[in-house]
Chains A and B, each alone.
Chain A
Amino acid sequence: MEIKDTLIIAKDFSSTPGARYVSDGSDVSAEAFLKILVPRLDKAIKENYILRIILDGVMGFPSSFVSGSFGKLSIERTANVLIKHIKFESDDNPIRKEQIIFEINNPKNKNA
């Protein structure tokens, strides 16, 4: 499958991703990020291509953000679909990729 779209979190969203919900007092929450991610992911699924997500340039990913975005999507769309249509990249810190894939494969139920 071909990569047809690239989402750079630091540039397209924020370099300081934060809490899970907007109501947690964070305007850079996972909930806000989903508004950017979901339409692009749905397009990738519908047109059968890969969405590349660049994880570089951020200060780090709190688990609240990862769980509230990718974990939540994993429950809604299944882990297989996410792994099939998203390619994560990080030159700064490769363990960020593993952190997100771990969350996708082991989402916390409270996200549902």
Chain B
Amino acid sequence: MLKTIFYSSYTVVGIIMLMLGLAIGFLLTDFPKIEFDNHLRLYEVINFFLTLCIAISIPFIVKKSIDDKRAIKNFLTEEVKEALKYLTKTKELINTCYSNGAITRQNKDTIIIDFDNLGLKINSLGEQLEISFKNESKTIMEELKETYLLYHRFVTGDELMREGYDKIDLGFNRDYKSHYNKLELQLKKLIHKFHCF
């Protein structure tokens, strides 16, 4: 319990701010050099209360700012995880079709719909990222969208969409994994990047 209180961010920031306030107070007292004459002066009273106010209020302001940023980053992370779900769903479907040795028209339509949903998620992520981290979002989203579009082009580009293509071959499966891994890695790296902002 004591350990929890001592190590809580409120306590640490509070102590730091209190010490900072005291240091500022001492500096202000000594500048210009004033002789101690045992009389309480108005500016000393003001100085004391000012220091106290800084020590009490700054931790809350700083903490709120840190908490707000953390909440946004966590929210964006959840959005990436949602996008990863659609990505994984398509991978699992393709794996199942490959294992079963058959892919149907319905499977292909599901893949098209899941790609559309994944695109929607990526677009939504980009728009939200732009609100909170405008400078960082441009390059990140350009790269992510390009990888998504190339992956989309590979999977739904040609052979898989042909009516006569009813079995996923080894070559497609191998190349598919390479495209999939690239996009998956890029999405996962995003989570790390969010926490560096």
Chain B associates with chain A: yes
Q: Name A residues whose Cβ lies closer than 8 Å to a Cβ of B.
A: 16, 18-20, 24-26, 59-65, 67, 92-96, 98-99, 102-103, 108
Instruction: Name the B residues within 8 Å of A20 (CB-CB).
Output: 158, 161
Q: Interface SS of chain A: helix, strand, loop or mixed? A: loop
Contact of B163 (CB < 8 Å), options: A16, A19, A94, A102? A19
Residue of B nearest to A60 (CB): B116
Bound state CA distance, A67 and B153, in angstroms? 9
Q: Does residue B11 face the partner (Cβ distance < 8 Å to A)?
A: no
Q: Decide if B163 touches A93 in the complex (CB within 8 Å).
A: no
Contacts of B155 in A (CB 8 A): 63
Report whether B161 and A59 are in contact in the complex, using a CB–CB cutoff of 8 Å. Answer: no
- Complex Cα spacing A96 to B153, Å: 12
Q: What total of chain B residues lie within 8 Å of the partner, measured CB to CB?
A: 24
22 residue pairs of the A-B complex, CB under 8 angstroms, read: A16-B109, A18-B161, A19-B161, A24-B164, A25-B164, A59-B113, A59-B116, A60-B112, A60-B116, A61-B116, A62-B112, A62-B157, A63-B154, A63-B155, A64-B157, A64-B161, A92-B120, A93-B120, A95-B122, A98-B123, A99-B152, A108-B157
Partner of A19, one of B119, B145, B162: B162
